[in-house]
Amino acid sequence: MPTDLDATFAALSDPIRRALVTRLAHGDASVTELAEPFHLTPQAISHHVGVLRRCGLVEQRREGTRRPCRLNVDQLTRLGTWIDEQRQTWNYRLDALHQHLTDDGDTP
């Protein structure tokens, strides 16, 4: 799982790829449709989609000559689970630190 996370975080470090994930969260789209709001060629968008495919965030299927992209929600869920686990761990640690720092020392 750490390798998957490394690739996923690396893919999401690019603002265009994050925008593509956000767009695909609203529904499937072809590379041409994904390229519309950007000043990039479909080939450049296709490269970004390839990065997202390799880390498991995006899937593509064939529908005749069309190849729509779809967000892989399972991979997002794995990513979200890892982030939630880290948040819980750090919240616990910070709460314990806060308790230690605010302890007035009156307890035996």
Segment-wise mean pLDDT, segments of 10 residues, the chain, 108 residues: 77 96 95 91 94 95 88 90 88 84 70
What contacts 15, CB < 8 A, 6 or more positions away?
A: none
Model pLDDT, residue 106: 58
pLDDT at position 105, please?
61
What are the CA-CA distances from residue 47 to residues 25, 54, 102, 103 (Å)? Answer: 19, 11, 52, 55
pLDDT of residue 95: 83
The pTM of the full predicted model, rounded to 2 decimals, is: 0.78
Domain ranges of the chain: 2-102
Cα 100 to Cα 108: distance, rounded to the nearest angstrom: 14
Q: Which CATH class is domain 2-102?
A: mainly alpha
- Running DSSP on this structure, what letter comes out for residue 69? E
